[in-house]
Each structure stands twice: as C-alpha cells, then as structure tokens.
Amino acid sequence: MNRMLLLGGVVLVGIATAASSLFTVHQTEQVLVTQFGEPIRVINDPGLHAKIPFIQTVISFDRRLLDYDAPGEEVILSDQRRLIVDSFTRFRITDPLLFFQTVGAQEAGIRARLSSVVVSALRRVLGNEPLLAVLSSDRARIMTEINRQVNEEARRFGVAVEDVRIRRADLPEENTQAILSRMQSERERVAREARAEGAEVAARVRAGADRERTVILAESQAQADTLRGQGEQEAIRIFAEAYQRDPEFFGFYRAMQAYREAFSEGETRLVLTPDSEFFRYFRQSRPGLPVPGVRPTPGAEAEPNGAAAQAAPAPASPAPANPAPAN
C-alpha cells in the first residue's frame, strides 16, 4: 500500500514537473525566458517549448499592433496661437529583451513613456509651424516629422512606432469665443457692404426710372400742348370763317353762349348800365321792355324807333337771382 502511494506521488511529481517545463508560444506572442529575474533567451517562433521548471520564468509580450490614446495637450504654435491637440499612437514591441530591460514586464510602463515622448515631439514640431500650416495640406508633412521623432525616441525602449496622428486640434474655449465673435463681425460687415451696394444699385435704378419718367412726361406734355395749340388754331380759324360768312349770326350765337354761362348757376348778380351791350338782344326782341335785372329810370319815354329813351344815370340795383326770360 505504501509502495502504491509512493509510486502515485512520484507520478504526480513527474507530471507537475513536465507541465512546468513545457509552455506554448502563440502566433500573437513573443516570449522572454528569465532565470532568477535575469533574461536568458527570446522566443519568437510559435509552438511548444521547454524550460527548466521552477527556475526559469516565461514572460509573454503581445506582438500585435498596440494603441495609445494620449490626452489633450495644449501646444503653442509659432504664431503664438494655442491649440488643444488630441493625438493617438500605434506601436508594436519589436525587441522584448530591450523592452524588459528599459520598461519592465508590463505594457502599462511603455504607455507612460510614450506619453512624454509624443507630447515632446508634438510641442517641438508644432512650435515651429503656424496655425494655417496645421489646418492646411501641410499637416501630412507635419505628422510625418512627428512620427519620425517619436519613432527615434521609442527605439531605445524596444518599440517601433507605426503611426502618430492628431485626432483633433481645437482652440481653447476663450480663443474659440473670440474667433467666433470676429467671424460674426466679419460676416456682419460683409452683409452691410452687400446691403449698401444693393441700396446704391436700387437708388441708381430708381433715379434712372424717375429721370425717364420725367422725360416721358415732359415729352407728352409738349406733344399735348402742341396738339392743343393746333386744335385751338383750327378752332379760331373755323370761328373766323364763320364770322366772315355771317357776322350778325355769329354775334348772336356768342351772346347766347354768354347768357348760358352767366345764368346757368341761378345765383348770378350783374351790375350794368341800362344801355349795356350785354342785353342788346333783349332790347331788340321787345322794344321798350325793361331789361332784366335793370331798374327803369323814372320819366323815361319810348322813342319812335322802339329804343329806350336815354335818362339820367341812376344807380343800378342788383339783378335778381333768377331773372325772368323775355316773352
């Protein structure tokens, strides 16, 4: 029974020893074997490998591409502008032995080292560039220079930096507000200039339209005056011809027009002498008939020819508002 227990113990110890002496290296790993804390060898080939049990230790490092996101850092450019730069870095461990000797067995150590290296490279390179270069097509050249400097610094840690990129480059909050205010002022200035130019064009068009309107009205008025003058000339000629044909009828016609114009309102008052020419046709139609609107002179006698006798002048009374027509 004791022999069986002893044999079982020996078998278990042998299995444990074999298990501790064998290890596997994956395709995504690279291994550093240390003995009492001292590095012995580096294994890059994947597969099953052996080591001295309980004496040697296996430290694995990832051979894939690793990333590091740096926090935003304030950088002063060559034109004294300030930027908050947010960057990220892609790297891989190329020398596990050097990495172990300079950084240690943990990947967290290299991240702290890369933070200072990346920030220093950003400040050195961006400190020699103006803001317009950072925001223009020169940014690729700037990032290439930053990548080169970071890679040179990272080689002494056994790390190869594949890429360094600026994720964001923002102005500080106070600068952003000042720039936005300047941009708003500039846009308002441009808008005022556009409105002023529009008002100038509108005033020019309006002045041209007013000038053209004045010219058209003046030409129309001149043409109208010409036509009116021609019409009046023709009317005068016609009246002159009519007067020459029958002066008596023409005088009668004009007198009738004068009567119509004088008595059409119904409130007309006339102050005339008894022998006024205005009532000549009234006197000729009824000899001896008092002239409407004229008070007869006392003592006046009718003449044989039917005309009213001349009397001493007397003040004429106002004519009635509606003189009665002669029968």
DSSP per-residue string spanning 259-292: HHHHHSSS-------TT-GGGHHHHHHSTTPPPT
Report the pLDDT value the prediction gives residue 220, as an integer from 0 to 100.
94
* Closest to 160 in 3D by CA, of 30, 39, 249, 8: 30
Run of H or E residues at 165: strand 159-170
Same domain, 257 and 206: yes
- Would 315 be classed as within a structural domain? no
Report the pLDDT value the prediction gives residue 303, as an integer from 0 to 100.
40
- Would 322 be classed as within a structural domain? no
pLDDT tens over the chain, length 327 residues: 677 777 677 667 666 676 677 888 888 888 888 888 788 888 888 888 888 877 878 888 888 888 888 888 888 888 888 888 888 899 998 888 888 888 888 878 888 888 888 888 888 888 888 888 887 878 888 888 989 999 898 888 889 998 888 888 777 777 677 778 888 899 999 999 999 999 999 999 999 999 999 999 999 999 999 999 999 999 888 878 877 887 777 778 888 888 788 777 777 777 777 677 777 776 666 555 454 444 444 444 434 333 333 333 333 333 333 343 333
Same domain, 152 and 241: no
- Would 81 be classed as within a structural domain? yes
- Would 1 be classed as within a structural domain? no
Report the pLDDT value the prediction gives residue 192, as an integer from 0 to 100.
93
Q: Which domain covers residue 54, as residue numbers? A: 19-64
Burial class of 46 by CB neighbour count within 10 A (0 to 12, 13 to 18, 19+):
middle
Same domain, 101 and 141: yes
* Closest to 327 in 3D by CA, of 267, 282, 294: 282
Size (the chain), residues: 327
Cα(164)–Cα(154) distance, integer angstroms: 12
Report the pLDDT value the prediction gives residue 68, as an integer from 0 to 100.
87
Same domain, 72 and 108: yes
Report the pLDDT value the prediction gives residue 291, as an integer from 0 to 100.
46
- Would 221 be classed as within a structural domain? yes
Same domain, 118 and 100: yes
Report the pLDDT value the prediction gives residue 310, as an integer from 0 to 100.
35
Domain boundary among 64, 79, 98: 64
Domain boundary among 41, 64, 87: 64
- Would 4 be classed as within a structural domain? no
Same domain, 136 and 211: no
Same domain, 45 and 56: yes
Same domain, 75 and 154: yes
Cα(38)–Cα(158) distance, integer angstroms: 17
Same domain, 70 and 165: yes
Same domain, 89 and 107: yes
- Would 10 be classed as within a structural domain? no
Same domain, 98 and 122: yes
Say how many domains are in the chain.
3
Whether pTM exceeds 0.85: no
Run of H or E residues at 212: helix 173-245
Same domain, 140 and 50: no
CATH number of the CATH domain containing 143: 3.30.479.30
Report the pLDDT value the prediction gives residue 23, as an integer from 0 to 100.
83
Q: For residues 25 and 47, is the Cβ–Cβ distance under 8 A?
A: yes
Domain boundary among 172, 199, 219: 172
* Closest to 32 in 3D by CA, of 112, 91, 95: 95
- Would 77 be classed as within a structural domain? yes
